[in-house]
Structure 1
Amino acid sequence: MSLGAGLFVVLAVAASAAGWWSLAAPVLAGALAWVVWRGPLTERGRVGAALAGATQWALLAVSAVVAATYLVPGSASTGAAGPVFAVVALAVVAVAVAADAAGARVGDRIPRWYAVLLGLAAVAFVAVCVAIAPAGDVADAGTGALPPPGLVVAVLVYLPLVAELRGWRLIVGVAAAVTVAGAALYQVGPVRLGLSAASLRDVLAAADATALTPMLVAVAALAGTASAVRCAGRLRRASGRPGWSAPALAAAGAAGVAAAVLGPQPVLLLAGAVALADSAHAVGQRVAR
C-alpha cells in the first residue's frame, strides 16, 4: 500500500535527482529489498523492533504528505504550502488514528479494492500519456551514459515503499512503478516532472487531460488515507501496549507534524534513511548468525 500511495510524490523527487536514470531506481530498490528481506528474521531484537516502528512512523508521514499534496493545489510547486497544507496533513493522521481506534484494520495483504482502484488509475494514466504526443523535447536531463550521483537519492526514496513487498508482489510493484514513471517521463521529461510535488497533476495538464484531475486527486487522497490507516495500526502495535497509549499517540502526532512541516521531499528522504538503517540492521543480524 505504501508504494501505491508513495508513487504520487516519489516520481518528482526521483526525477529531480536522477533524471531519466530514475527509471532504474525502483528496480535497484526492489533488488536491494529482495536481498535484504528474502528470508524471515525470527527475532528482530529491540533495535530491530524500534527500527521497524520507526519505518511505519515515517511511512505514516509519507501517506499524510501524499493526501495533502494533492488536496491542496498550492502545494504543487512548493511542497508544504503553508497552514492549509499543514492542517490537511495533520487531519489525515488524525483520521487514520481515529479509524484504527474505531476498529478499522488493514492487514498485511493489500485489500482487493485498493489494488483494483490503483490498477485502473495507473492504466488510465499510462494510456493518456502514451496516446498523446509530448508537447516538446523531453530529453532534457539525466541522459548521460553513466548514472548520476543522484541515482543514489532516487533509490533511497523508493526503498521504504518497496521494502515491505515480498515475492510476486515485489515484482508487480516494481514493474508498475517503472511503467508509471516511464509514462510520466515520456510525456513531460525529467526536468518538468521534478519541478512539482504533485507531479502527476502536471503530467495530466501537459497531456491536455485536466478533466481527469478530479479523479486523480480523489484516488491520491484515498490512497494516502488508506495507507495512513495501515501505518497507524502498525505503529500502535509497535508500541507494545494495548490500544492507543500515550507514547503511540505522541508518535502519530509527531508523524503528522513532520508531514506538515517538512513536505514531500524531506519526508521521503527521512523515510528512506530509516528504511536503509532498518535494512542494514537486518543484514547485520544475518551476518552475526
Structure 2
Amino acid sequence: MVGVRLGAGLGIALAVGAAGGGWWLPAGAVLAGVLALLAPRDGLPARVAPLADGARLMARLGLVAVFASAVGVYLLPQYRVPVAAGVVLLVTVADGFGLALPRFLRGWVLGILLVAAAGVVALCLAIAPERGAGSGPGFTGLFAATAVLFPLLDRRKPDRWLAGTVVVAAALCAAALYQLGPVRTGLSGAPLADLLAAVDGQAIEPLLAGVVVIAAVPAALGALTEARGKLSRPLGSVLCGLVAAAGAVLLEPGQAMLIAAALALAEVLVRSLLTLFARRRDVRSVLGAALAVTLLAWLPPGTLLIAVAAIVAGTLVRLPSRAPAR
C-alpha cells in the first residue's frame, strides 16, 4: 500500500513546496524514507501500549483526511468538501462491513500508479520549463520537505517497496519542481493538475483525476482500517470515520497535510521514547527520536498543539479498548 499512499498524497505534499520544501523536496523524500526505517516497530509493554496505540490511531486518521481531500481537489475542486466527506463515508461503510482490497487489485493499483508517474516524469522532461522568479527556502527546506513527505512513506513493516517508493517520490518531486519551480509549486492547490497545464496536457486531466481516485480511495480504506485496529466493528469504524470526516471537511488540503505530518512524526517520537523507557538501550530509537524532534520543530506551533490534543484523545479512546476486533 505504500505506492498507493504516495500516489494519493504526493500532490498535496507538493502543494506546500515553496513554503515547506522548495528544491529540497527530493532530498526530503530520501530522508523521510530513512526516518521510516528508523521508526520502532516492535511491541511495547502493556502499561504503555495505549499511548502508542492512541498516537498510531490519530496518525492514521490524519492520513484518511489527506486522501479524502486529494480526491476532492482533483476530482471536483469546486465541491471539494462534499466529495471529501463522501470518500470518508464510503471507506467508513466499507470498513464497517469488513471489506478490504484484494491482493491482485492492489497490484493493479500499484502498476497504474507507476505508469502514471513515469508518464508525468516523461512529460516534464520532454518540454523545457518557463523559469519563474524566486528560489524557495534555504537548507531548512530539507527538514520541511521531510516532515511533509514522511506520512506518505511510513510503514509498519519496511521492505524493498519502501526503497522503491522513495525513488519514485524523489523522481516525481524533481520532475515537478523542474517544470514548475518552487514558487509556482508552493502556490498551487493542485500542483499535479497545474503540472499538466504547464506541459499542455489539459486533455488528460480527467485521467489524472481517475488515477487519484484509484489511489486515494483504497489508501483511505487501508488507513482507516489500521486506525480502527482493535476497536470493534461497526462502532469503531463509525467513530474513526467521524474524526476523519471532521478533518477532511474543516481543514484545507495543505493544513490536513501538515497535521498529518505532525501526527506521524509524533507517533515516531512517542514509540521511540517508550521503547527507550522499556529497554533503555536502542540506538535506532535514539536516532528516530532525534530526527523526529528536529522535524517537529519546523512545523507551526498551532499544528503541534492540535497533534498533541489529538494524541491525548486517541489514548483515551484506546484505554478501554482491549478486546480483539470482530
State the TM-score, normalizing by the size of structure 1. Answer: 0.87
Q: Do the aligned partners of 1:158 and 1:272 also contact (CA within 8 Å) in 2? A: yes
Q: Do the aligned partners of 1:64 and 1:228 also contact (CA within 8 Å) in 2? A: yes
Q: Which residue of 2 aligns with 1:153?
A: 144
Q: Which residue of 2 aligns with 1:73?
A: 77
Matching residue within 227, 248, 257 for 2:246: 257
Question: Distance between the aligned counterparts of 2:168 and 2:18, measured in 1?
Answer: 16
**Alpha-carbon distance, 1:107 to partner:** 7.8
Q: Which residue of 1 aligns with 2:317?
A: none
Question: Distance between the aligned counterparts of 1:175 and 1:277, measured in 2?
Answer: 25
Unaligned runs of 5+ in 1: 75-83
Q: Which residue of 2 aligns with 1:25?
A: 28
The size of the alignment, in residue pairs, is: 271
Q: Which residue of 2 aligns with 1:78?
A: none
Per the alignment, in what secondary structure is the counterpart of residue 216 of structure 1? helix
Unaligned runs of 5+ in 2: 280-326
**Alpha-carbon distance, 1:205 to partner:** 0.3
Identity %: 34
Q: Do the aligned partners of 1:157 and 1:268 also contact (CA within 8 Å) in 2? A: yes
Question: Distance between the aligned counterparts of 1:55 and 1:286, measured in 2?
Answer: 18
Per the alignment, in what secondary structure is the counterpart of residue 167 of structure 2? helix
Matching residue within 37, 41, 61 for 1:57: 61
Code of the aligned partner of 1:28: L
Question: Distance between the aligned counterparts of 1:29 and 1:21, measured in 2?
Answer: 12
Code of the aligned partner of 1:17: G
Q: Which residue of 1 aligns with 2:177?
A: 185
- What is the CA deviation profile of residues 180-228 of structure 1, one whole-angstrom value per residue up to 9, with x for unaligned ones? 1111111111111111121000011011111111100111122111111
Q: Answer yes or no: is 1:130 the counterpart of 2:125.
A: yes
Q: Do the aligned partners of 1:63 and 1:228 also contact (CA within 8 Å) in 2? A: yes
Q: Which residue of 1 aligns with 2:95?
A: 100
Code of the aligned partner of 1:14: G
Q: Do the aligned partners of 1:70 and 1:198 also contact (CA within 8 Å) in 2? A: yes
**Alpha-carbon distance, 1:138 to partner:** 4.7
Q: Which residue of 2 aligns with 1:243?
A: 233
Code of the aligned partner of 1:142: G
State the TM-score, normalizing by the size of structure 2. Answer: 0.78
Question: Distance between the aligned counterparts of 1:52 and 1:108, measured in 2?
Answer: 24
**Alpha-carbon distance, 1:102 to partner:** 3.6
Q: Answer yes or no: is 1:13 the counterpart of 2:26.
A: no
Spell out the pairing of 1:38-53 with structure 2 (5 A cutoff): 40-43=41-44, 45-53=49-57
Q: Do the aligned partners of 1:187 and 1:203 also contact (CA within 8 Å) in 2? A: yes
Q: Do the aligned partners of 2:44 and 2:275 also contact (CA within 8 Å) in 1? A: no
Q: Answer yes or no: is 1:115 the counterpart of 2:110.
A: yes
**Alpha-carbon distance, 1:261 to partner:** 1.5
Q: Do the aligned partners of 1:14 and 1:157 also contact (CA within 8 Å) in 2? A: no
Question: Distance between the aligned counterparts of 2:65 and 2:154, measured in 1?
Answer: 16
Aligned pair in 2 of structure 1 residues 73, 57: CA closer, same or farther (>3 Å)?
closer
Q: Answer yes or no: is 1:89 the counterpart of 2:94.
A: no
Q: Answer yes or no: is 1:276 the counterpart of 2:279.
A: no
Q: Which residue of 2 aligns with 1:81?
A: none
Aligned pair in 2 of structure 1 residues 110, 22: CA closer, same or farther (>3 Å)?
farther
Aligned pair in 2 of structure 1 residues 53, 256: CA closer, same or farther (>3 Å)?
same
Spell out the pairing of 1:196-211 with structure 2 (5 A cutoff): 196-211=188-203
Deviating runs (4+, > 4 A) in structure 1? 107-110
